[in-house]
Amino acid sequence: MKSIMTGLIGLVLTLQTAGQVRISGRVTDTKKSPLIGASISIKDSYDGATSDTAGRFQFVTAEKGEHTLIVSFTGYKGWEQKITIGTDALNFTIELKEEFNELKAVVITAGTFEASDKKRAATVLNSIDIATTAGSNADITAALKTLPGAQQVGEKEGLFVRGGAGYETKQFIDGTLVNNPFFSSVPDIASRGRFSPFLFKGTVFTAGGYSALYGQALSSALILESIDLPEQSAANVFVSPLTWGGGYQQLAKNKKSSWGLSYGYTNLGIYFNIVKQTPDYFKIPQFHNGDANFRIKTKRGGMIKYYTTFASGDLGLRRADIDSAVLKDAFSLKNYNWYNNLSWRENLGKGWKMNLGAAFSINKDDIQQQIQNGYNKPVTTNTSYIDGKNFTLNHRQDFAALRAVFEKRIGGGNFIRFGSEYWYSSDRSFYNSYTSRLTDNYNAVFGEADIYITNALAAKLGTRFEYSSILGKANVAPRLSLAYKTGKDAQVSAAYGIFYQKPENTEMIYTTKLGYTKATHYILNYQKTSNNRIFRTELFYKKYDDLIKTYPVTSNSGDGYAQGFEFFWRDKKTIKNFDYWVSYSYLDTKRDYQNFPEKLTPNFAAYHTASLVTKRFVTKIKTGFNLTYSYATGRPYYNFQLSNGKYNIADQGRTRDYHSLGFSVNWVPSVGKKNAKAFWVFFASVNNVLGSNQVYNYNYSYNGLIKQAVNPPAKRFYFVGIFLSLGVDRSEDAINNNL
Amino acid sequence: MKHLLIAFALLSGTIVNAQSEKFTAAMQKQLALLDSAKTTQDFQTVANAFERIGDAEKTQWLPYYYAGLALTRAGWMDKTLDKDANAEKIKALCVKAEAIEKNAEIYTIRNMAATQQMLVDPQSRWMSYGQESGNALQEGLKLDPNNPRLYYLQAMGVFGTPEQFGGGKTKAKPIFEKALELFKAEHPKPLYPHWGQGQTEQMIAQCK
């Protein structure tokens, strides 16, 4: 009996094995490298296997006849083949094609510091980073100066990028140009940017080689993307001895729309009483600032956003006149600015996207300078070069922009984008009795394509066609960039482009028979990123052509170059709760423009610039400590004197090296309190803690015999303030930024 | 006729039984492999096998659930694993499972996948993935307010959050205890998820 049983079992087993077919093979990618962990299966059966470390697999199946063999692996396109299972073993060599993957794909980074997409580890600076960068006082431009490429220029606002002047950097909000991104300034004192970093969810700082979607900036484009709907409704209040204000944001119950209002008032009276300023302020700086917005989420997931801000400012200051021992220059400034931005982004379906934008702004400056005597009374000296400093200037700039960009996704990461923009600008000035008006109608048409040849190799090709009515000239600006992934987290990218910019209005006042100024960029970039660490280095060469010479006649006869290299390293990982970045820039630049007698390094260019930014959050006491150290070697200064119909260098030198140590503390007691109704932030900061003597430039007397250092109005700048947000649990934000 | 009907009923019953026996046997085999899996490769192999069973069965959510569970285990264990790619795969399995049945167990998988993605860079991912994992817990508790694994995962989240931010051992302990209570009351059906009690007991010990 037993033997029969064994025999029977044996028979059944044999039958079973005889009925089974072995299926084996190997799974590789298109480069024949094995893929480990790919799933191989026969459709609608349990039978299958997983590829091993050599990409090999094998299994047996009892299925018979027509079947489908399926191979799948994350990140690769699926593979299917009809097979017939008979009695013979089957063997397959399977090649899987990589799928386009946004996270894995190479990104063009030449010239660009992007700070938006949180999924990418390459995030460089977000709004909290900007606010907590010591020394920046929550000013976007000031924080960006800690990145490579930008100079530590303190006497003029703007980003001076890679040998470019401040006006060679343009700012764009949701695609449209911002005509007056900074508060109107006083000579030799830089002003702040008008826009808070918290208005933006994305910041792209390009130090060159930027996309064909943008133009009219020889050196750099700062591309800002405004926030969408707020997380919740909230009321905010901020109080400090310098400035106070509040705002309210209402999010609709269905979370589809929101509106908000805010107002701020700044008065430096108390501050100037405590911290002595070098200039004598006869009118204490006062600023009113109001803004309003609404945002609507559309049915198809698009956004309509409107933002408006109105600002007025008033100040007056007196400084010693350089041409005399007793006289003073009294300078006063009234500024009004109204900015509007309306944008609509929409998904049109079938891979089409649309971005429409409209912007409108008015900026009005009323400036007066008066020569005064020791008793602060106006005087006439009958010396033409002194009396010539008396002036009144009423300056009004109107600007309107319309823009439309369409984008079509053509599979994988491939996109085409095209669009057009129109800018209207009107610049009216009344200088003493002289009146001038410059009106320009500017049109641009542009197109670009993002092409992914593989996940590891991408190209961006673009062209921009521009026409400006005031110049009566057109131009064509090609742009090209490439990126190649050299390793898991490493990539090389290169960019080339031609950039045109209209001459400044201050130059076109004399003649409009000018052409575009021109810069050609060549950039080579290497970047390595891993979780919370980023290293990048960039090599660049920039050629300037057709720069504006103002002497002997105003013409496009200037030129120049800039070249150098930069490093950037950021590490949030090595030490817990400690975030730091280091940047270094080497810059060699010379140009012949304005009244330069020859090719010279301009005043806004230092050979070496470096910054160290550190941030430490101590969870135990819920306090963040931030320290920033910036260094730059001295910058050149010149005195040009006109003799025999020619400008000569009467004197020149280099300023002392620049050092600045900034420190700030933020105490966030509400962190971690679940459902806290009130969220408090206490903030204190000091700029130039060590009180280094910062010399930005030298001013010369008319005869060139006296020179005077240009310093900040006070050695140090202090700020203390309280921020309170009601009705919202923002502790998640804080945890987010400090964990 | 009556006999024929009975015979037919019996016969079809046998077929159904045979099929579910095949399913049960395959599942049990893979569950044993899941318990003994050690390397990422092991977990992937098991996950693939579960997915094959799911794809063939078409009406069973459990195979997809276990495929996802296997991959979350690989995610906890393997520090070098690409957490985003792994989580995307897990979430795709959850979608397949949920197309058959939406339940609390699948949300435990969703919670773990999002947590693993958050842990890649908590500072910048808290808002996105932290929220996603929290939402998964909430959704899961709506479907089954007494699921011990959801409480265990919630307690793990609290345990891993610094005290200053409202987390820590003392706050996690009562939640672990609640989870343990629910584990003790649980009577899972065969093949249904039952993991977590041992881990919970260990964590309670650590909270002391």
Quote the ipTM score.
0.81
C-alpha–C-alpha distance, residues B208 and B159, integer Å: 12
Distances (CA, A) of A521 to A160, A338, A445, A459, A591: 16, 34, 21, 17, 15
Do residue A519 and residue A551 come from a single domain? yes
Average pLDDT, chain B: 88
Residue A169 lies in a domain: yes
Do residue A91 and residue A116 come from a single domain? no
Do residue A211 and residue A76 come from a single domain? no
Distances (CA, A) of B53 to A84, B56, B188: 21, 5, 21
User: In whole angstroms, what separates CA A246 from the centre of its chain?
Assistant: 27
How would residue B4 be classed by pLDDT, with cut points 50, 70 and 90?
low
Residue A663 lies in a domain: yes
* Cβ contacts of A571 on chain B, cutoff 8 Å: none
C-alpha–C-alpha distance, residues B84 and A291, integer Å: 40
C-alpha–C-alpha distance, residues A708 and A651, integer Å: 13
* Cβ contacts of A75 on chain B, cutoff 8 Å: 85
Cβ proximity of A282 and A316 under 8 Å: yes
- Name the domain boundary from A96, A123, A139: A96
Residue type, B154: Q
pLDDT value at position A5?
A: 47
Residue A152 lies in a domain: yes
CB contact under 8 A, A45 and B125: no
Residue A173 lies in a domain: yes
A328: domain CATH number is 2.40.170.20
* Cβ contacts of A622 on chain B, cutoff 8 Å: 164
A50: domain CATH number is 2.60.40.10
The enclosing H or E element of A501 equals: strand A490-501
Residue A66 bridge partners (DSSP): A84
pLDDT value at position A240?
A: 93
Q: Which of A39, A44, A46, A232 to mutate to test the interface with B (most CBs of B within 10 A)?
A: A46
Who among B49, B85, B121 is closest to A121 (CB)? Answer: B121
Distances (CA, A) of A551 to A557, A561, A604, B28: 10, 20, 20, 90
Q: Torsion angle of alpha carbons A92, A98, A104, A106, nearest 10°? A: 130
The domain of A325 spans 112-738
CB contact under 8 A, A732 and B125: no
Residue A78 lies in a domain: yes
Residue A365 lies in a domain: yes
In this structure, how many other beta carbons lie within 10 angstroms of the beta carbon of residue A68?
Answer: 13
Do residue A53 and residue A135 come from a single domain? no
Using left for φ > 0, alpha for ψ between -120 and 50, and beta otherwise, residue B177 falls in alpha
Q: Any chain A CB within 8 A of the CB of B88?
A: yes
pLDDT value at position A3?
A: 52
The structure tokens listed for A436 are 């001038």
* Cβ contacts of B166 on chain A, cutoff 8 Å: 672-674, 731
pLDDT value at position A271?
A: 94
Cβ proximity of A515 and A471 under 8 Å: yes
C-alpha–C-alpha distance, residues A257 and A247, integer Å: 17
Q: Which residue has the higher pLDDT, A334 or B167?
A: A334
Do residue A399 and residue A483 come from a single domain? yes
Q: Torsion angle of alpha carbons A598, A603, A606, A610, nearest 10°? A: -160
C-alpha–C-alpha distance, residues B11 and B19, integer Å: 13
Residue A361 bridge partners (DSSP): A339, A399
CATH number of B38-140: 1.25.40
Over residues B28-53, the mean pLDDT reads 93
Do residue A197 and residue A233 come from a single domain? yes
Count structural domains, chain A. 2
Residue A104 lies in a domain: no
Do residue A91 and residue A118 come from a single domain? no
pLDDT value at position A655?
A: 97
Nearest CA in chain A to B50: A46
Do residue A388 and residue A438 come from a single domain? yes
Please, what is the Cα angle at A180 between A174 and A183, to 5 degrees? 120
Do residue A38 and residue A83 come from a single domain? yes
Do residue A46 and residue A176 come from a single domain? no
Do residue A177 and residue A45 come from a single domain? no
Q: Residues with Cβ < 8 Å from A626, sequence gap 6 or more?
A: A132, A133, A134, A613, A614, A615, A616, A662, A663, A664, A665, A666
C-alpha–C-alpha distance, residues B172 and B152, integer Å: 9
Cβ proximity of A430 and A393 under 8 Å: yes
Q: What's phi and psi for A557, nearest 5 deg?
A: -95, 5
Reference A40, options A21, A29, A19, A26; nearest CA is A26
Do residue A26 and residue A126 come from a single domain? no
pLDDT value at position B153?
A: 94
CB contact under 8 A, B130 and A736: yes
Q: How does pLDDT run across B113-130, given as a tens digit for each residue?
A: 999 998 887 777 777 788
Cβ proximity of A174 and A613 under 8 Å: no
Residues B187-194: contacts with CB under 8 Å, at least 24 apart: B190/B24, B191/B24, B191/B27, B191/B28, B191/B31, B191/B62, B192/B62, B192/B105, B193/B65, B193/B69, B193/B105, B193/B108, B193/B149
pLDDT beneath 70, residues of chain A: 1-18, 102-106, 108, 110-124, 531, 671-676, 728-739
Q: Any chain A CB within 8 A of the CB of B85?
A: yes
Burial of A87 (0-12, 13-18, 19+ CB in 10 A): exposed
In this structure, how many other beta carbons lie within 10 angstroms of the beta carbon of residue A598?
Answer: 9
pLDDT value at position B130?
A: 85
Residue A102 lies in a domain: no
Over residues B5-14, the mean pLDDT reads 50
pLDDT value at position A130?
A: 83
Give me the residue spans of the domains in chain B: 38-140, 146-186+193-208
